[in-house]
Amino acid sequence: MRTASPFQPPPLSPLLLSFGGLSSSSSAKTLTRTLAEEIRLLVPPRLQLVESWHLAYSLERDGVSLATLYQQCEKYRGKRGGFVLVVKDGTGGIFGAYLSDPPHPSPHFFGNGESFLWRASTVPSLPTLAAVSLTTPASSSHGANSSRSGTSTPERIRFKAFPYSGVNEYMMFCETGFLSIGGGDGHYGLWLNDNLEKGVSDPCPTFGNEPLSDEGSKFDILNVELWYIGA
């Protein structure tokens, strides 16, 4: 009877997000380290060891253009890295994909089974016991302000991933007019238009996903980021 090995791999070092000219404190940033750590657990093991992710494209930093996103990916062609696409919709929902290959216009589908779709939502932080104060009718007018000085629990998120199903090989298909991830039966798992203002997300056989946006099948785009993982 085999027993579990007592040897465990060392814990991963905390991720560093390199925003490349976009202030890490900017309200325009979408990917947080908490979310990145969730995604990190599902990328290929060789890339889990990478300690720094680099912002290859940001709608806020680089402009509203799919063509620019493609251009920013050119320098990564041929490297054994991966990419994390992050989309923020009109209601503040955050979702995206891990991509095995850099997005680029192509007459054929490309990518491999390492790719996956994901969605996330923030769980509201609860104040710690030290921050909870009992108020009387006389003190209720300043009770709201007194709670702000307390500390809150760290950010928590609900994260759900949709890995490759093996049903088809429609991982990625990109043209100058759109970017798409996942497909089959006339539906895209995730589709973005050329000016990165509108998107579509439907269930698709490639990833067996649910719609990624709470807005419905079609959604408005507030921000797009593409992160590179690799040397």
> pLDDT per residue over 74-87, tens digit each?
999 989 999 999 99
Per the structure, the count of domains in the chain is 1
How much is the pLDDT for 24? 55
On whether residue 140 sits in a domain, the answer given is no
On whether residue 142 sits in a domain, the answer given is no
> pLDDT per residue over 22-77, tens digit each?
765 567 799 999 999 999 999 999 999 999 999 999 999 999 999 999 999 999 99
Gap between the Cα atoms of 74 and 101, Å rounded = 11
SS3 content of the chain, % helix, strand, coil (to 5): 15, 30, 55
On whether residue 107 sits in a domain, the answer given is yes
Contact 192, 68 (CB under 8 A): no
Nearest partner of 120 among 152, 150, 136, 97, judged by Cα: 97
Return all residues near 86 (Cβ < 8 A) that are at least 6 apart. Answer: 30, 31, 94, 96, 223, 224, 225, 226, 227
On whether residue 6 sits in a domain, the answer given is no
How much is the pLDDT for 123? 79
On whether residue 160 sits in a domain, the answer given is yes
On whether residue 134 sits in a domain, the answer given is no
- Name the residue range of residue 92's domain: 16-20+28-123+155-230
pTM, whole model, 2 decimals?
A: 0.83
How much is the pLDDT for 21? 79
Percent pLDDT > 90 in the chain is: 73
On whether residue 35 sits in a domain, the answer given is yes
Neighbours of 134 (CB within 10 A): 6
On whether residue 139 sits in a domain, the answer given is no
Residue 100 has which token pair?
């095995």
Query: What is the chain's length?
Result: 231
Q: Which of 20-34, 91-105, 160-174, 214-228 has the lowest mean pLDDT?
A: 20-34
Going by pLDDT thresholds of 50, 70 and 90, the confidence category of residue 4 is low
Going by pLDDT thresholds of 50, 70 and 90, the confidence category of residue 88 is very high
Of residues 130 and 10, more confidence is placed in 10
